Structure 1
Amino acid sequence: MTEHRFIGTVIRATGSWYEVLSGDETVRCRIRGRLRLKGIRSTNPVVVGDRVVCEAEEEGDYAICSIEPRRNYVIRRASNLSKESHIIAANVDRALLVATLFRPETAREFIDRFLVTCEAYKIPVTIALAKIDLARRDPNAVADFHRTYEGAGYRVVELSATEGEGVEAIRSWIGEGTTLVSGNSGVGKSTLIGALDPTIDARTGEISESHHKGKHTTTFSTMYRLRSGGSIIDTPGIKGFGLIDIDGAELWHYFPEMIGRSGACRFYNCTHTHEPGCAVAEAVRAGGIAPSRYESYLKILDEDDKYRK
């Protein structure tokens, strides 16, 4: 029986009502007043993964009255509000980014922006290269993807959820704790979740033939417990990933392959954009850093500068 006041974990957020797990019981709650986190201008103050304090109200409903301090969170700039943010999930132990080379194609810049955010909040990431059965029709593209992201220090798992390839490797990597599963619409997140645990009813959808883009199948973020242990957070498909609260002078700190080379730059305050004697730029020319990663770095610096002013 739910107590008058309890602390639980938000496992589903719909924008107006929230499902909070307390022990083995799920309680439907609303937000009391206007909760705001200090220093964060967010379109969604309560997110999946939050530890929250809930209290019973006179009419029998429950309300979230406060949020416990977060260990971390994954955040992006709100798509239509440049000065506000949208928090995807909180208190996660690791992130799994699901990407595809075909039907649909995941943009490299999207991947890089997601990785930068996880690096900034010290969340380890593994990349699942999904629909690998389709991708192998272009072995050069597959090899380039591995070279780019494994060269940057990330693990890449080839995945075909429909055929079962890579599922056990991902299940083993997830282990205990909470894993955020993210990616564009149509890359197969829900199919993967169903393969990890067939008892989970995460909806799947098809790809739009006209634009080869995914249809949105997950409407709200939801946390699921896996029978094999641990929990996963399934998120709606994300179209864009604008960075927020990352200083341009520190951006290169979140590209692991740049960190190891920056010490050899001629200038200690090198921005890795135009300076002579830049070891990072030299590594790009020599093939040690993937050109697409460096291009993402330059583009993030250029396009996001207006949001940091």
Structure 2
Amino acid sequence: MERQFTGVVVRATGSWYDVRTEEGDTVKCRIRGRLRLKGVRSTNPVVVGDRITAERDEDGVGVIAEIMPRRNYIIRRASNLSKESHIIAANIDRALLLVTLFAPTTAPEFIDRFLVTCEAYRVPVTILLGKADLAAEDPEAVAQFKAVYEGAGYPVIEVSSVTGAGIEEIRTLLEGHTTLLAGNSGVGKSTLAGTIEPGLDVRVGSISESHLKGRHTTTFSTMYPLSSGGFLIDTPGIKGFGLIDIEEAELWHYFPEMMQLAPQCRYYNCTHVHEPGCAVRAAVEAGEMAWSRYESYLKMLDEDEKYRK
């Protein structure tokens, strides 16, 4: 048995890591101490999707020695009172953000923060509008949602694990790629994952009726091999999504519709908040850019300013 090997982290529990080797074996690994001492601001120095090199110790346990450079990753602030970051996953071809309009309702600000982070780290996103069987009872809300996000440049797929709507379209997206599936607790991520790939062993929880919020069912991110040849990364339900390492002056760069409008602004360094001749504000007032998206932008500027120093 080769002592040294390379592979991809498919599960990270904080102290132990499952690594899938190039031969397709899974090796339980721990982290070499000095990896923790390189000034990594993240709460988790090794994450699902990382390509690593490791070596087996005398007991055959893998020891991760090196993390290869990441192509991209999705990161969020670890908590509302923290400057530390938490990387959800790395080396992703696409993110699927599962949102729901009913039972529970996904907040627009959460959606927009996730999208901003994906834009900043060059991860393409497709929005999955879940529980389409429930959403069908309010077609106006669905049409309004799709107008906002398709207008911003994001594909939106209506999906339902009950009716099977959108499932084949998602399977086509997943073929041969590494895809992250994310969303708030309770939106049906684990159920959807099991519908996309029958037999996938993902734990499923229930909605707490008293709060209409999902109980956490997935504790750690896990990468699952798909029969199509790709991989699906199932993530823990995310309550909040704080931005980190995004400069205030750059924030609007991560709103695609604002990037399209900005060249028409009177001032090249327009912040799109108070300047005269701002094409972004004019578009919002004319209904050409969604107010909810602009409101999210203003909130991010205001609420996250203290974290960017």
Structure 2-normalised TM-score? Answer: 0.97
In the TM superposition, residue 265 of structure 1 has moved relative to its aligned partner by 0.5
Give the AA of the match of 2:14: G
CA RMSD of the aligned region, Å?
A: 1.2
Distance 1:172 1:29, change over 3 A: same
Q: Tell me, yes or no, if structure 1 residue 163 matches structure 2 residue 163.
A: yes
2:152 is aligned to 152
Separation in 2, partners of 1:229, 1:54: 24
Give the AA of the match of 2:26: T
Q: For residues 52-74 of structure 1, give each alpha carbon's deviation from its aligned partner in whole angstroms, at most 9, with x where no partner exists.
A: 11111123321111111100100
In the TM superposition, residue 219 of structure 1 has moved relative to its aligned partner by 1.2
2:122 is aligned to 122
Q: Which consecutive residues of structure 1, in runs of 5 or more, have no partner in the other structure?
A: none
1:14 is aligned to 13
Answer yes or no: is the 8 Å Cα contact 1:17–1:28 preserved in 2: yes
2:109 is aligned to 109
2:274 is aligned to 274
Answer yes or no: is the 8 Å Cα contact 1:162–1:191 preserved in 2: no
Separation in 2, partners of 1:34, 1:211: 43
Q: How does 1:7-46 map to 2 (within 5 A)?
A: 7-22=6-21, 23-36=23-36, 40-46=40-46
In the TM superposition, residue 5 of structure 1 has moved relative to its aligned partner by 0.6
Q: Which consecutive residues of structure 2, in runs of 5 or more, have no partner in the other structure?
A: none
2:94 is aligned to 94
Answer yes or no: is the 8 Å Cα contact 1:13–1:222 preserved in 2: yes
2:11 is paired with a residue whose SS is: strand
Answer yes or no: is the 8 Å Cα contact 2:130–2:159 preserved in 1: yes
Q: How does 1:91-240 map to 2 (within 5 A)?
A: 91-240=91-240
In the TM superposition, residue 137 of structure 1 has moved relative to its aligned partner by 1.7
In the TM superposition, residue 175 of structure 1 has moved relative to its aligned partner by 2.0
2:241 is aligned to 241
Q: For residues 245-300 of structure 1, give each alpha carbon's deviation from its aligned partner in whole angstroms, at most 9, with x where no partner exists.
A: 00110100000000111011011100000111100000001111100000000000
In the TM superposition, residue 203 of structure 1 has moved relative to its aligned partner by 1.1
In the TM superposition, residue 308 of structure 1 has moved relative to its aligned partner by 0.9
Give identity over the alignment, percent: 69
2:264 is aligned to 264
1:203 is paired with a residue whose SS is: coil
In the TM superposition, residue 80 of structure 1 has moved relative to its aligned partner by 5.5
Give the AA of the match of 1:21: R
1:289 is paired with a residue whose SS is: coil
Q: Tell me, yes or no, if structure 1 residue 298 matches structure 2 residue 298.
A: yes
Give the AA of the match of 1:109: E
Structure 1-normalised TM-score? Answer: 0.97
Answer yes or no: is the 8 Å Cα contact 2:80–2:242 preserved in 1: no
Answer yes or no: is the 8 Å Cα contact 1:37–1:45 preserved in 2: no
Distance 1:37 1:225, change over 3 A: farther
In the TM superposition, residue 39 of structure 1 has moved relative to its aligned partner by 6.5
Separation in 2, partners of 1:274, 1:14: 46
1:35 is paired with a residue whose SS is: helix
1:263 is paired with a residue whose SS is: helix
Give the AA of the match of 2:203: R
Distance 1:37 1:153, change over 3 A: farther
Give the AA of the match of 1:53: T
1:275 is paired with a residue whose SS is: coil
In the TM superposition, residue 90 of structure 1 has moved relative to its aligned partner by 0.3
1:4 is aligned to 3
